[in-house]
Copies of this chain bind each other. A is one copy, B any other.
Amino acid sequence: MNVVDKDSPLPMYYQIEEDIKRRIEEGSYETGKPIPSERELSEKYEVSRMTVRQAISNMVRDRLLYREKGRGTFVAEQKFEQPLDGVTSFSEDMKRRGLSPHNELLVFEKMIPDETTKDILALGTEEVYYLKRIRYADNEPMAVEETFIPVRLFPELEEKVFGVMSFYEYIETKTDVSIRSARQTIEAGIAGEDEAAPLAIDEGAAILQIERIGYLTNGLPFERNISTYRSDRYKFISDMYRN
């Protein structure tokens, strides 16, 4: 079995993960049934049992496998083809739904934030970037979005970034910080004049209002995002797991 290459720069446990995933996909490891025991796998891949365990542990963490002491390790049902359980930007969300996102940037400026935003982002007297955008999917207006971002965290941020890439993509590729989590609050509302016009819906129609506060790995909040979606075109979908 030459599936793992000891001289590869990729760690062996990673190569083993990929091989097990492949076998699950092609059906040689069936859902609900046990995969070979750790000892068998360590012989097959010619690595120590602990290395096999590391591969399996990662896959258990990702819920592809589950272990039962004394019985074996089993393939979990692959329920969610595309996982919908993470923090995503509007652009990423739309792409995942098979739609093409684009923006109309109404406002981009530095400003002193209001009290609420100041509290949420844990700011003193600092400035924030303020963006107001209309979000489109396949050229149909989908949401109106306001975003507040502390200037201190991204002093180099420029308007043109928001044309060419997702803000989240910018953070993860152009800066040395990374996104950890977000808290989202979702409520229903009725469209007033301010919402109806940009979304091309009637006043009195149902709208979905989502406030997201995003946090970096170091725990600092990096954005407050308030989005208003038209409810005839958008449903919020998410996968959750029992703790």
**A interface, CB within 8 angstroms of B:** 31-32, 61, 63, 66, 76-80, 83-87, 178-190, 204-208, 215, 217-220, 231, 234-243
**A242-B180 CB under 8 A given contacts A32-B219, A204-B204, A219-B76:** yes
Copies of this polypeptide in the complex: 2
Which residues from chain B contact A83 at a C-beta distance below 8 Å? 243
A183 smallest CB distance to B (angstroms): 5
- Known pairs A61-B61, A183-B240, A187-B208 / 11 extra A-B pairs, C-beta < 8 Å: A76-B217, A76-B218, A77-B215, A86-B241, A87-B242, A184-B239, A185-B235, A186-B186, A186-B235, A190-B205, A190-B206
Which residues from chain B contact A240 at a C-beta distance below 8 Å? 85-87, 181-184, 238
**A236-B187 CB under 8 A given contacts A83-B243, A218-B32, A242-B87:** yes
Which residues from chain B contact A181 at a C-beta distance below 8 Å? 63, 79-80, 239-242
Q: Which 4 A-B pairs have the closest CB atoms?
A: A77-B219, A188-B188, A86-B243, A188-B231
Which residues from chain B contact A204 at a C-beta distance below 8 Å? 190, 204
